[in-house]
Structure 1
Amino acid sequence: MTDNSIKTMDPNILLSIINTKLRDQYSSLDILCEELMITKDEVIKKLNDIGYNYNQSENQFK
């Protein structure tokens, strides 16, 4: 996954991928983005555009 693929990916698929990775592999969005070398702001913007916000206490986009 790259910043470029995030820009072109269907946001619903991105939501599924990110939430699955947060649930199964990463304890925070910051760690996920750092390890995958993707821009946190890009992920947040793309998912905000479809009405999802990151809930830090639950470690998922809702």
Structure 2
Amino acid sequence: MNLPNDPIMLMSYLNTQLRDNYPSLEELCKSMCLDETEIRAKLETVGFVYQPERNQFV
């Protein structure tokens, strides 16, 4: 699976997936074989942090 390289597009894509298909970032990463630490780090470089209570990056 090719994820968007741009952090803003990546955040939008992941939030859509989280909203529509996954109860948590952990489940999304397991299902898509992604490194959760890498995803969090990439999005934190542009100020987005995962909020589990909202199940989205903000």
- List alignment gaps of at least 5 residues for structure 1: none
Q: What's the counterpart of residue 39 of structure 1?
A: 35
CA distance in 2, matches of 1:48, 1:13: 14
Misfit runs of 4+, over 4 Å: none
Structure holding more helix per residue: 1
Give the number of aligned pairs. Answer: 58
CA distance in 2, matches of 1:52, 1:15: 8
2:13 maps to 1:23: no
- List alignment gaps of at least 5 residues for structure 2: none
Q: Deviations over 1:6-61 (max 9, x none)?
A: 6xx01111001100000000000000000000100010001000000000000000
2:32 corresponds to which letter in structure 1?
L
Report sequence identity in percent: 40
